[in-house]
Each structure stands twice: as structure tokens, then as C-alpha cells.
Amino acid sequence: MDDVGVILVRGSDVVTMDSHDTVVSDGAVRVEGSLITGVGTWADLRALHPDATVIGNADAIVTPGYINAHQHMTGDRLVHSCIPDAIDSQEAIFGWAVPVHSAHTPDDDELSATLAAVEALTNGITCTVEAGTVANPDRVAMGMLHAGIRGTVGRWGWDVEGVPFGAPTDEVLALQAEMLDRHPTGGLVEAWVTLVGHDLMSDDLLVGASELARNRQTGLTFHISPHRGDAGLYLERTGRRPVVHFHDLGALGPHVLLAHAVHLDEQEVECVLETNTAVASCPWAYLRLAQGFTAGCHPTLFHREARLALGCDAENAGDAVDILRAASLFVGLARDMSMDAFSMTAHDGLALATRRGAEAIGKGNLIGSLEIGKQADLVVHDTSGPQFLPRSTDAVRQLVWASDGRSVRDVIVAGRHVVRDGQCISVDVNSVRAEALDRRDHLLRARG
């Protein structure tokens, strides 16, 4: 039995997302351990491995795992879709975010992260950049590892005066460094230097965080300019728009992933491009929160080949943890804004969800395409649903425009089979259903 431990992932279309956008018809991907060791036709690979385990079938669409470059895994998950649409940002922060975050126990943080990871995996997301957790980031890492999703975690801290739970700059940076020690680069889940952003960081904290990430060869992520308010605060304090200010501080660079950065002016866009800084775009969040995607710069960043990825944000902002939904929305809005049918296509949307997303989070050499030597992060889409009836001659176009995470049937992360027949098999979701409801009620009571 030479084929022990060999998995062949089969599909009518193996969409590799390599640099030539190769699609192998009636193809297969060979997985051994955590790695992809072959990509070719089903006939050739099956002849070599007659006894290998097979995932997928002759009608499936196989893609790389999707990259979610900005996801809150705590705070909102247990009050998923509870925060009303019709509130202002002050009510959202002080009426909801602060009391709900404060009432979280360590168990709540792990449960939240586990549920967020389960939803992500069942929609084909295999790598998530966590947006940051206040109190128990190690428990978030445990939840992600249990579910079997790849990703990064971070501990939030802030040093501005007059804000509850703040700490001196050195203390915040020391806690960040401890996180990097506990979750080093190279693991399935690794720590990134993670700040809240907006105006919750002094210049010293931002510069120190950027240096820490640069020295430790890891990432730094924080929020900026999902709406226009951040620019006003920075103009008042520094006389410069935020991203110009960060550039002048020397804090930008290829190790930095800005969450949002929707409302950048021309000078700020130049700062992003010049420093090779990455941006995570969460289009559903901007629509849900009425923040003005169509008045923003993300299509410009796309066309100017900035390092750009997609994200789903929080469960009271994007709500659905589904990158294919974000991809079709991003492309659809960008096409509408330009009123140019040649401006962007479904294939561009899938690239943002895979190859370009992986490059934006600094992991283009590891994930984002189906190529020999890369990590075995794969998605098998079932095409028996009515949205595939009849099948298109272009699998990518049909996947992006007609389907979404609902067609995900199997998911493999680093060679581990974590979703089978549409169900997450690494976590017994039914066993935590009652607990999730109970914790939701507890958190809703805690906010009064």
C-alpha cells in the first residue's frame, strides 16, 4: 500500500490560481502530509496512486483555500447580527462594543473564535487574519487551532489617555512581544502585532509596534478610515491625514496590513503604493454600516496593483463570514462605479480571494494557489446545486457570480480534512449550540 497518506483532490475544474491562471480540466491535486506534491490530470495521478484516498468528484470545482484578511473573532460573534442597523458610531462603541467586550469571559473568547472559525471553514476560508482581542488572545488561538483554521491572532492594547483599560506605551508593546513569543511565525496560528488603530494609539505606540513587527519579521495590522471620521481627528491633531502621518513617522511598509483604508486621498494612496503597504477591504461591512465604499479608493488600489485582500470584518458589520460573497460584491461595485465592463471581472474577484490575498498578508510563498510545494489548503465546491444548472463553460465566472460559500463541500487545511460534505468535522457544533445561546443572553443582559 504505497498510497497510505496520499490524498487526491478531484474536480472537473482544478482552478489553480497560479500566475498563468491555469485551470486543469478533469484534474486532481495530490496532497501528502501538509503539502501539495502534484497537480495534473485525474487520469495521470490516479494511475500513479490507485489506492489513494479521494476527496471531490468528477463534477466538482477545486480552488485554493480563501484568505480572509480582516475578521473579528471575539466581541461580536456571540451577539451575531444583534446590533441594530439604525444606530450611530458612538452608540455602536459605547452602547455595544465596550460593554459586550468587557463582559466576555475567557471561555466566551474561545467559544467565539471557535464558532467564527467553523463558519469561515464551511465557507471555504482557510486562513484568517484576526482583527484583535482585548483580554484572552491565547484562547482565540486555541479555538482556531481546535477548528483547524490557519491564521494570525493579536492582542489589542492602547496607550491614549482618558480611555478605559489603557496602559503605558512600553507595557502595551511588552504584551505584544509576549504574544509573538508564545505564537511564533511558522505555526498554523501565529501572532501578529495588532492594534485597534483609529485614534487609539499614540505616535510612539505605532512606531514601536511597527519596529517590533519589522524586527521579528511578522505582520502589523490595525484599523484606519473605514469612514471619514478618522481623517478629521488626525487633521486636528497632526495637521496631516492619517496615512500621510504614518508615512512620515516611517511606520508603513510591506509588513503592515491596514484594515479598511477606504477613504484615502490621492496623497495617501501614493503613500500606500510607495511603501508596498497592504490593505484589507471588507465591502459588506461598508455597505452594512453605510460607510461609503463607492466614495472610497479600493478600486483604484486594485487597478494600481496595490497589495489588496478581502475581509469580512465583524458579525455585526459584514455579518456573513464568506469571502466569495465579498469577492462578488467588490467586483460588482467596482464595475458599477467605473461604468466600464472591462474594468474588473469575476476572475479578478477570485484572485483577491486567493493569490492576491495571500500576497497581501505576506504569505504568497505558502498559500493562495494550488502549486507543488505550497501548503495543502484546498476547497472542493459541489456543483449539484441549482445555481450550477446547467454548468457554465467558465467555472470561475459561475462560482463568483452565481454561487458563494453554500457550495463548499470539502475543505482541507495543511493537509487536514476539516469540512466533509458541507459540515465542519473538527468541531461538534451541535454540542455548543445551547451554550452559544446562553452566552448570547448573558452578554445582552450585561449591556442592559
Q: List residues binding Zn ion (CB under 5 A).
A: 131
Residue closer to Zn ion by CB (options 43, 290) is 290
Nearer to Zn ion, 39 or 360 (CB): 360
From the CB of 292, what's the least distance to Zn ion, in Å? Answer: 16
Total length of the chain: 448
In terms of DSSP H, where are the helices of 258-366? 266-275, 283-288, 298-303, 323-338, 346-353, 355-360
- A 10 A CB-CB count for 40 gives 16
Minimum distance from residue 69 beta carbon to Zn ion (Å)? 11
Q: In whole angstroms, how close is the CB of 260 to Zn ion at the nearest point?
A: 7
CA distances to 81, 270, 307, 412 from 5, in Å: 41, 49, 36, 14
For Zn ion, give the closer residue by CB, 16 or 194: 194
Backbone angles phi, psi at 35, to 5 degrees: -115, 155
Query: What minimum distance in Å lies between the beta carbon of 312 and Zn ion?
Result: 10
Residue 444 burial (CB < 10 Å; 0-12/13-18/19+)?
A: middle
Q: DSSP string of 101-146?
A: HHT--HHHHHHHHHHHHHHHHHTTEEEEEE--BSS-HHHHHHHHHH
At its nearest, how many Å lie between Zn ion and the CB of residue 323? Answer: 15
CA dihedral 26, 364, 173, 282 (to 10 degrees): -60
Asked if 72 contacts 129 with a C-beta cutoff of 8 angstroms, the reply is no
Q: Which residues of 294-304 are buried (b: 16+ CB within 10 A; e: fewer)?
A: eebbbbebbee
State the nearest-atom distance from the C-beta of 262 to Zn ion, in Å: 12
Residue with smaller CB distance to Zn ion, 131 or 261:
131
Which one, 131 or 321, has the nearer CB to Zn ion? 131
Contact 383, 56 (CB under 8 A): no
Could you give the angle at which helices 242-249 and 229-238 cross, rounded to 10 degrees? 50
d(CA 302, CA 346): 14
- In the complex with Zn ion, the residue whose CB is nearer, 292 or 415, is 292
We find the least distance from the C-beta atom of residue 206 to Zn ion, in angstroms, to be: 17
Nearer to Zn ion, 123 or 291 (CB): 291
Smallest distance, Zn ion to C-beta of residue 197, A: 8
**Closer to Zn ion at the Cβ: 131 or 142?**
131
* Least separation in angstroms between CB 163 and Zn ion: 17
List the strands of the sheet with 256-260, edge to edge: 193-197, 220-224, 256-260, 278-281, 307-310
61: β partners: 13, 381
Closer residue to Zn ion (CB): 74 or 403 = 74
Beta bridge partners of 408: 381
132 or 368, CB closer to Zn ion?
132
Query: Which of residues 74 and 114 has its CB atom nearest to Zn ion in the complex?
Result: 74
Cell of 227: 469612514
CA distance 190 to 258: 18
Sheet holding 150-153, edge to edge: 66-71, 125-130, 150-153, 189-191
Least Å distance, CB 22 to Zn ion, is 34
- Which residue number, 113 or 131, has a Cβ lying nearer to Zn ion? 131
Cα(244)–Cα(229) distance, rounded to whole angstroms? 16
Query: Least distance to Zn ion from the beta carbon of 46, Å?
Result: 45
User: Which residue is at the shortest CB distance from Zn ion?
Assistant: 131
| Secondary structure class of 387 (helix, strand, coil) | helix
To Zn ion, the closest distance from the beta carbon of 447 in angstroms equals 19
